[in-house]
Chains A and B, each alone.
Chain A
Amino acid sequence: MNTFLSMLPGSLMVAAPIIICALGGLLSERSGITNIALEGIMTVGAFVSAALLFYLEKVPGFGSGLGCWVAVLAGAFGGMLFSTLLAIAAIRYKSDQTIAGAALNMLSVALCIYISQILFGHQRTDTFTTGITRIKKVPLLGDIPIIGPLLFQGINPTIYVAVVLVVIVWFVVFKTRFGLRLRSCGENPQASASLGVKVEKIRTIAVLASGFLGGMAGALMVLTTDTQFTASSIHGMGFISLAALIFGKWQPFGALGAGIFFGFAQQLGVYANMIPLLNQLPSEFFHAIPYVITIIALVLFSSKAVGPRAAGQIYDPGQR
């Protein structure tokens, strides 16, 4: 039990970017655009925030706290800017979404490291010193018995951002008119178009929002777990987010649960040697868990249509 408790803050810290990025994927896929490029978007967000934070730390006033959150916001906009490439390719010019996404993933790492080489002279950004640190105790909430010490003391605030975003995305997608239209575009775009929904506009907004969230996730990832951006800063987290999205059945709260579960699985790899029975298993086993589980989930879900029906298909207004 004690090991479990000590794993909790770390697991939630890893889970936060997975959840946020999965939310981005959710918006995009619910609108009908498969977003393989999440990994690349996270990479760009991580690079922009890490590079900016390095410079911001030299500006008086940005040294602690504030600079980090400015960098996170910049990372989010960086991800959004990068996702416009996907929007242009997949929506405006009807490219194959998987191919465009794969190309963007390759481009992201190459471009970010290239710029790092120009700016910093080596294949990573220079190190930043602050980063996002754990909150000792959240006022008021931290005083609640049992839950307080567990969830509101010594926890990295990124998970709170993630939970708030889950609620917002859930509200937007399932409780607003825009959300209804968004979902209709992902199920049957021709039918929505016949009712006057501007499919291409809604999909563009969705992809840009997914870029914003993906970029933010990448920024939070690098600012909580790293001290600089390198080519392996994201190491497949974008794809884990994609897995969390699928495992969470394309639902915001599902993504939250799946994200925390995958975060836990990652932490188990670190803590397993302290837990009897589990210490018999290699750490690779825990790293592979999210991927294997997602494949199993896909098979289990396959009989029921849970994913957006039109995701990945090229939208042709003339098609019936």
Chain B
Amino acid sequence: MISLKEKRWIPFLAVILGLVAGTLIVILSGRSPLIMFATFIKAGTGIDLLKGGTFNPRLVGEFLVTTMPILMGGLSISFAYRTGLFNIGAEGQIIAGGVAAIGAGFFIPIDNQFIHSTICVLAGCLAGALWGLIPGLLKARFNVHEVVVGIMLNYTAMYSANWLYKQMPLNQMTRTENVPVSATLNVDFLRQLTNNSRLHLGFIHVIIALFLFWLIIEKTSFGYQLRATGFNKEGARFAGIKVKRNLVYSLMIAGAFAGLGGALLTLGTYGYGRVITAFDNVGFDGISVALVGGCTMLGNLFAGLLFGLMKVAQPALQIASIPKEIGDIISSLIVLLVALQYAIVLYRNKIRDWFKKARGQK
């Protein structure tokens, strides 16, 4: 078994090892790792070291825009994981949230941006929660594994959403018209502040969501019941916790977080709905965020920023003639390494023993 104390530093080691592996891959393919790291720094802070430290606030804005939905995906996976559920269906819940938010944007006529956008965001949360309700109910009622149902629902969501978008005012076959400005989260103030980035008011929603996540999980008896279920389902049932009901609630709340992520994506980042042929992988990035973040509020925040960086830096990497997929390679290697925690601890102990022996011989 791996102790809790060890569990805490495994993500750090995984991140370092993942970056080292990524660096090696870049070197092996004949590209410069220095440019890669300079690009990561530029994408994260807006400071371009290769151009004498010039600062561009637009990059910081884009960094945050990319991070927000991924972070919500992370909160969704984390919330379910604390209850012992693997919400691989977050991708579908994000899509459901996105389409509901856009639908509310088109079909609910309100001029006030605050009221309209809030309604749209809540519609997204609701749709995500309903999409999370399906695996929850099937798990509680029929004991069907939430992972398989989640995967199948991801694709069902994608095709359903594509059809729904095509029923809305279409701009081209692949996207809807822009939703009315009152539905979006965009404000000129933030745009001017960040040199015309797509930064939107969604960061307020993200902060509220982070707070709610922490409050529910750590500070309520409901959250305590969920965690108890996650630690030991039978034990929790024996202690009088309504395990099945909590499974359903947990996946619904996880779905609401993901749905919010989808709403931020459509109302904030894009401002229109997109007919997609492949996943955006926001939900799958959420898996990475949750695992590396240890499913805690603060952990998610930092891991979300890390994976957001790996994503937002990609176009700049491509321009610097480093294939942009290196960002995804590093991300997936980090997740794989976190999954390999048993091996990490094993080899750390081996190295430690070897050092001890070497010192003892002196």
Question: Which positions in A face B, CB cutoff 8 Å?
Answer: 34, 36, 85, 89, 92-96, 98-100, 102-107, 109-111, 113-114, 117-118, 231-232, 235-236, 239, 242-243, 246, 282, 284-285, 287-288, 291-292, 294-295, 298-299, 302-303, 312
Question: Are A235 and B153 in touch, CB under 8 angstroms?
Answer: no
Cβ of B163: which chain A residues have Cβ within 8 Å of it? 282, 284-285
Q: How many residue-residue contacts, CB under 8 A, span A and B?
A: 136
Cβ of B284: which chain A residues have Cβ within 8 Å of it? 102, 105-106
Measured in the bound complex, the distance between the Cα atoms of B145 and A107 in whole Å is 24
Question: Are A107 and B336 in touch, CB under 8 angstroms?
Answer: yes
Instruction: Name 19 interchain pairs, CB-CB below 8 A, sorted by A.
Output: A36-B147, A89-B336, A93-B346, A95-B339, A95-B340, A98-B147, A100-B336, A102-B88, A103-B336, A107-B332, A111-B325, A117-B323, A118-B323, A231-B278, A235-B278, A239-B155, A284-B162, A295-B152, A295-B153
Kindly identify which residue among B148, B323, B339 contacts A99, using a CB–CB cutoff of 8 Å: B339
Which residue of the partner chain B has the closest CB to A95?
Answer: B339
Interface majority SS (helix, strand, loop, mixed), chain A: helix
Interface majority SS (helix, strand, loop, mixed), chain B: helix
Given contacts A93-B340, A117-B323, A246-B148, A287 and B329 within 8 Å (CB-CB): no
B interface, size bucket = 35 or more
User: Does B29 have its Cβ within 8 Å of any Cβ on chain A?
Assistant: yes
Cβ of B155: which chain A residues have Cβ within 8 Å of it? 236, 239, 287-288, 291
Measured in the bound complex, the distance between the Cα atoms of B173 and A284 in whole Å is 14
Question: Are A113 and B166 in touch, CB under 8 angstroms?
Answer: no
Question: Are B335 and A299 in touch, CB under 8 angstroms?
Answer: no
Question: Which positions in B face A, CB cutoff 8 Å?
Answer: 25, 29-30, 86, 88, 134, 138, 142-145, 147-149, 151-153, 155-156, 159-160, 162-163, 166, 277-278, 281, 284, 287-288, 291, 323, 325-329, 331-333, 335-336, 338-343, 346
Question: Are B329 and A111 in touch, CB under 8 angstroms?
Answer: yes
Measured in the bound complex, the distance between the Cα atoms of B149 and A303 in whole Å is 16
Question: Are A113 and B323 in touch, CB under 8 angstroms?
Answer: yes
Q: A95-B339, A102-B335 are in contact. List 10 more A-B contacts (CB 8 A).
A: A99-B287, A99-B335, A100-B336, A109-B325, A110-B325, A110-B326, A114-B25, A231-B278, A291-B155, A298-B144
Measured in the bound complex, the distance between the Cα atoms of B346 and A288 in whole Å is 44
Which residue of the partner chain A has the closest CB to B330?
Answer: A110
Which residue of the partner chain A has the closest CB to B92?
Answer: A291
Measured in the bound complex, the distance between the Cα atoms of B340 and A104 in whole Å is 12
Kindly identify which residue among A34, A98, A106, A232 contacts B332, using a CB–CB cutoff of 8 Å: A106
Question: Are A284 and B159 in touch, CB under 8 angstroms?
Answer: yes
Question: Are A299 and B142 in touch, CB under 8 angstroms?
Answer: yes
Cβ of B341: which chain A residues have Cβ within 8 Å of it? 95
Cβ of A302: which chain B residues have Cβ within 8 Å of it? 142-144
Cβ of A231: which chain B residues have Cβ within 8 Å of it? 278
Question: Are A298 and B148 in touch, CB under 8 angstroms?
Answer: yes
Given contacts A106-B281, A232-B278, A96 and B339 within 8 Å (CB-CB): yes
Question: Are A288 and B160 in touch, CB under 8 angstroms?
Answer: yes
Cβ of A303: which chain B residues have Cβ within 8 Å of it? 142
